[in-house]
A and B are shown apart, each in its own frame.
Chain A
Amino acid sequence: MNLHVYVIRRILLLVPVILGVTLLIFGVLQLLSPLQRAAAFVQNPQDLRPENIERTIEKYHLNDPPWVQYQTWMSGILSGNLGVDRFEHSIAAALISRAPTTIELAVYSSIVIVLGGIWQGTVAARRKDRLPDHATRVLAISGWSLPTFWLGLLLLTFFYGGLGILGPGTVSIEVGEYTRSSAFTRYTGLYTIDGILNGDLFVTWDALEHLVLPVFTLSFVSWAIITRIMRSSMIEALGRDYVKFARAKGVPERVVVRRHARRNALIPVATVSGFVVAGLLNGVVITETVFARPGIGDYAAVAALNLDIAATLGFTLVNAFLLVITNLVVDVLYAYIDPRIRLG
C-alpha cells in the first residue's frame, strides 16, 4: 500500500469515530430534560416565569424530537456554528478569540516537553542504573504525581506572591493597554510573535515572562512520559549491532549517540509525542485557571462551573476533533518515517 492510499484509508476510518463523538456528546445533552437545559439560559428572576421558560425552550428548539435536534445541531457544526452559550454569545467565536492564548501556552509547553524529554531520556539511557538514571526516575515519578493546580499555586505564590515577579495573566497591565492601542497590530494574536512582528520586543519579553510559570507547570507533569519512552528506546538502540559496529570502527561516542543511536530511538517518541501533546489539553484547563490566562481552557472551566452545558460540550467537541486529528497526523508521519507500518 503506498502512502496516499494509507492516508486516504486513515481519513475514511475517522468518519465513524467523529460521528460517534458527536453522537456521544449529543446523547449526554439528551439525557437532560428540555427544562434542565433551559435552566442554563436563566439570567434573572424574570426568566423563571413559566411563559419565559416556555419561550426559551421554544427559541432553542429544546422540545423538538431528538433526530431533528441532532440534524440542526450537526448542520450547524458542519458550517462552523457550535451554538450559543448562556449569554447567547456564539461558542465558536468565543473559542476562536481565546484560541491564541491557549496555542501560545500549548506550543511552548510542547517544545519544552518534547525536547526536554528527549534530552533527559538520552542522559538516563547513557547512564543506565547510575545516579542520573535514578534521579530521572524519581523526578519523572514525582512530576507524574504532582497535582497540576498545586504545583501552579506553589510557583505562583512563591514567585509572584513572595518575590513579586512572574505574575499571572498573559501580559502586564500597561503592555496589555499598549497592545490594544492602534500602535500595535494583532497579526496572529500570539503576544510573543506579534511583539516581534511589530518590532516591539518588550511585548514579546513581557509575554514570555508571563509564560515561564505556566509552561513549566504544564511541562513538568507531562514530560515524564516522553523521558521514559526515550530512555527505553535509547537503551534498546544503544545495544544494537550498528552501534557496536560504529564504536568498533572508532567513531567518537558523542557521534555514536547522536547520529546512530538517537535517530533510531526517536521513532517511538514521535508516536507518543502526539498523544502527550493532545493530552496537554487536560492540563491547559487547570493551568489557565490557576494562572488566570483567558484561553479556551479557562472558558471551559468557567462554563462548567456555571453549568453552561452547551458551551462545555462545544469545547469538548472541539477537543475531541483536535485529538482525533492529532492522532491522524501522528499516524501519517509515523508511516512516512517508517514504511513498514503501511503494510499492515
Chain B
Amino acid sequence: MKQNPLSVVGLAIILMFIGIAIAAPVLAPLPAVCGPDVGIVCDPNDPYIIPGYGYQRDPLPPSPEHPFGTTPGEPARLDIYYGIIWGTRNAFRVGIVVVGSALLIGIALGLLAGFRGGFLDEVIMRIVDIMLAFPALILAIAFVAAFGASLQNLMIAVAAVWWPSYVRLVRGDVLAAREQGYVEAARAIGASDFRIMGRHILPNVIYPIIILSSMDIGAVVLVIAALSFLGLGVAPNYADWGGLVNLTRNYIVGQVGGDSLAYWYTYVYPGLFIFLFVLGWNLLGDAFRDILDPKVRR
C-alpha cells in the first residue's frame, strides 16, 4: 500500500461505493405515495425500478427534486440520481454474481484439469482454447441474442465467457502445488484424490486467485454496461448504469434546433459512475497484482 499510493485512492473509491450501496434505501428512498393521482409511477415491491415522474419524457435538468436531472424512461421521466444510487447496488450484485459463478466453474475445472491431468486435462483445456477463440463481448452478444435480453441472461452470458481464463489460472497453480512435499505426504498416508484436492491443494492456491479475480468485478461491470448500452440488457426502467445511458441515446444530440449539449446530464452522470467504479477496482487490482503475482512484480 505504501509503495503504491494509487491503491489507497482505489480503496477509498470502492469503500465509497460500498457505502452508497448499503445506504441506498436512505439515500434514495422510494416516493412515499405512488400512483396516477400524484403523477408518479413506481413499484413499491421492487426498489430497482426507477420511479417515473409526470407524463412527458423529455429530460429535465438538475433541480432540487432531481439532483442529477431526469432521463426519458418508459413512459415517464426517470430520476437519474435514484437510478445511479440503486444502480450501485445493481453493479455490485451483477459483478459479484458473475465473477463468483465464473470462479466456481474455473476452480472446479482447473482443479480437475491440473490435478488429474491426462485425457481430462486435454479435453478441458481444448474447450478453454475454443472459448478463448471468441472476443468476450461478441460471444456475450451472441448468447444474449439467442436467449433474449434480460438481466439474468446478461449475467449468464458474461459468466459463460468469463470462466475459461480462471481455469487456466487455477490449473497453472495446481500443477505447481501438485509437486509439493505436502501433497506427497498426504498421498503417503493414504488420502484420497478428492481429499488431497479439497483439503490440501485448494486452500494453498485459492486465496490469491480469489483476490485477483475479485478485481475483475470492475471489468465485468464494464462489459455489462456495454451490453446494456447496446440495448441488450435490462428492462428500460431498471436501475442499471449502462441502461440509463441507453435510454438517452435518442436525446444525446440535444434539443432540436437548440442547444446541442442541453441534455448532458443524462449521459455524463451515469457514465461517470461506471468509470469511477471500474477505476476503483482497477487501481486496487493494480496494487494486488504487484503484491500477489510474482510474474508481473517489478
Q: Report whether chain A binds chain B.
A: yes
**Contact between A137 and B6 (Cβ–Cβ < 8 Å)?**
yes
Give the nearest-CB partner of A278 in chain B. Answer: B135
Instruction: Name the A residues within 8 Å of B229 (CB-CB).
Output: 147, 149, 286
A161-B253, A278-B135, A286-B226 known; A17 vs B126 contact (CB < 8 Å): yes
Partner of B282, one of A145, A153, A303: A145
A-contacting residues, B249-283, CB 8 Å: 252-254, 260-261, 264, 267-268, 271, 274-275, 278-279, 281-283
Instruction: Name the A residues within 8 Å of B218 (CB-CB).
Output: 145
- A25 interface residue per 8 A CB criterion: yes
**Contact between B145 and A147 (Cβ–Cβ < 8 Å)?**
no
A147-B229, A285-B230, A305-B232 known; A29 vs B146 contact (CB < 8 Å): yes
**Contact between A31 and B133 (Cβ–Cβ < 8 Å)?**
no
Please classify the interface of chain B as helix (H, G, I), strand (E, B), loop, or mixed, using the class held by over half of its residues.
Answer: helix
**Contact between B143 and A319 (Cβ–Cβ < 8 Å)?**
no
**Most interface-central of A145, A278, A307 (chain B CB within 10 A):** A145
Instruction: Name the B residues within 8 Å of A300 (CB-CB).
Output: 138, 141
Partner of A304, one of B135, B230, B267: B230
A153-B252, A157-B260 known; A285 vs B141 contact (CB < 8 Å): yes
**Most interface-central of B226, B242, B283 (chain A CB within 10 A):** B226
Give the nearest-CB partner of B139 in chain A. Answer: A316
Indicate the size class of the contact surface on chain A.
35 or more
- A199 interface residue per 8 A CB criterion: no
Nearest-neighbour CB distance to chain B for A218, whole angstroms, equals 13
Bound complex: CA of A189 vs CA of B280, how far in Å? 42
**Contact between B146 and A141 (Cβ–Cβ < 8 Å)?**
no
**Contact between A147 and B144 (Cβ–Cβ < 8 Å)?**
no
Bound complex: CA of A278 vs CA of B261, how far in Å? 35
Nearest-neighbour CB distance to chain A for B167, whole angstroms, equals 15
**Contact between B142 and A28 (Cβ–Cβ < 8 Å)?**
yes
Bound complex: CA of A158 vs CA of B260, how far in Å? 9
Nearest-neighbour CB distance to chain A for B88, whole angstroms, equals 15
**Most interface-central of B139, B146, B275, B281 (chain A CB within 10 A):** B146
Instruction: Name the B residues within 8 Å of A320 (CB-CB).
Output: 133-134
B-contacting residues, A270-300, CB 8 Å: 278-279, 281-282, 285-286, 289, 300
**Contact between A162 and B260 (Cβ–Cβ < 8 Å)?**
yes
Instruction: Name the B residues within 8 Å of A29 (CB-CB).
Output: 146
Can you list, as one digit per residue, whether each of A144-179 has a CB less than 8 Å from chain B (1) or not (0)? Answer: 111111100110111011100000000000000000
Bound complex: CA of A17 vs CA of B134, how far in Å? 11
A20-B130, A149-B245, A309-B146 known; A316 vs B138 contact (CB < 8 Å): yes
- B49 interface residue per 8 A CB criterion: no
Nearest-neighbour CB distance to chain B for A140, whole angstroms, equals 9
**Contact between A21 and B133 (Cβ–Cβ < 8 Å)?**
yes
A-contacting residues, B148-197, CB 8 Å: 148
Give the nearest-CB partner of A168 in chain B. Answer: B253
Give the nearest-CB partner of A281 in chain B. Answer: B135
**Contact between A157 and B252 (Cβ–Cβ < 8 Å)?**
yes
Can you list, as one digit per residue, whether each of B80-103 has a CB less than 8 Å from chain A (1) or not (0)? Answer: 000000000000000000000000
**Contact between B133 and A17 (Cβ–Cβ < 8 Å)?**
yes
Nearest-neighbour CB distance to chain A for B63, whole angstroms, equals 21
**Contact between B245 and A21 (Cβ–Cβ < 8 Å)?**
no
Nearest-neighbour CB distance to chain A for B58, whole angstroms, equals 17
Nearest-neighbour CB distance to chain B for A95, whole angstroms, equals 13
Nearest-neighbour CB distance to chain A for B18, whole angstroms, equals 18
- A32 interface residue per 8 A CB criterion: yes
**Contact between B260 and A161 (Cβ–Cβ < 8 Å)?**
yes
- A313 interface residue per 8 A CB criterion: yes
- B293 interface residue per 8 A CB criterion: no
- A194 interface residue per 8 A CB criterion: no
**Contact between A149 and B226 (Cβ–Cβ < 8 Å)?**
yes
Bound complex: CA of A307 vs CA of B149, how far in Å? 9
Bound complex: CA of A153 vs CA of B251, how far in Å? 11
- A94 interface residue per 8 A CB criterion: no
A-to-B contact residues, CB < 8 Å: 16-17, 20-21, 24-25, 28-29, 31-32, 137-138, 141-142, 144-150, 153-154, 156-158, 160-162, 232, 235, 278-279, 281-282, 285-286, 289, 300-301, 303-305, 307-309, 312-313, 315-316, 319-320, 323-324
13 new A-B pairs (CB below 8 Å) besides A313-B142, A319-B134? A21-B134, A32-B147, A141-B282, A144-B282, A145-B278, A146-B278, A153-B245, A157-B254, A304-B145, A304-B230, A305-B230, A313-B146, A315-B138
Interchain residue pairs with CB less than 8 A apart (28): A21-B134, A24-B130, A31-B146, A32-B146, A138-B6, A141-B6, A141-B279, A141-B282, A141-B283, A141-B286, A142-B279, A147-B225, A149-B225, A149-B229, A150-B245, A156-B252, A157-B264, A157-B267, A232-B298, A282-B135, A282-B138, A301-B141, A304-B144, A304-B230, A308-B145, A309-B146, A312-B146, A319-B134
Which 3 pairs show the lowest CB-CB distances between chains A and B? Answer: A150-B271, A161-B260, A20-B130
